[in-house]
Structure 1
Amino acid sequence: MSGEQKAEAKVEQGKGKLKEAAGRLTGNEELTAEGRAEQAKGDAREAKEKVKDVFKH
């Protein structure tokens, strides 16, 4: 996995976790859902990079 892509995925996951936590603390369901979606996007990006790595070897 390229380091840059992996870093982007981790940043996206982290931002999502923060948004989800902030949404829960404030009772904002929309922010919580947005955070979960951002985490899922980061997870998908990370999975895509892992699949690319498998086929490189």
Structure 2
Amino acid sequence: MGLGDKISNKAQEVAGQAKEKLGDATDNERLQAEGIKDQAAARAKQAGEHVKDAAKDVTDK
């Protein structure tokens, strides 16, 4: 996984956490859900990148 991808995915995850917490604090269910969705999307991207890295490691050996 490239460093840029790692940073981008982590930033999306952190932004999602912030949205979720803000939604919790303001009783805004839409904002909470959006934050949870953003976090899930970031984690899915990270998982995909890990699979790519693992496949590359296998083919390199």
TM-score normalised by the shorter chain: which range applies? Answer: over 0.9
Counterpart of 1:45, as a letter, is: K
The alignment's TM-score, normalised by the length of structure 1, stands at 0.97
Normalising by the residue count of structure 2, what TM-score does the alignment of the two structures yield? 0.91
Q: How many residue pairs align between the two structures?
A: 57
**What does residue 2 of structure 1 align with?**
2
| Runs ≥4 residues deviating over 3 A | none
RMSD over aligned Cα atoms: 0.5
Higher relative contact order (CA 8 A, sep 6+): 1
Counterpart secondary structure, 2:40: helix
Task: Percent identity, please.
Answer: 40
Larger radius of gyration: 2
Unmatched runs of 5 consecutive residues or more in structure 2: none
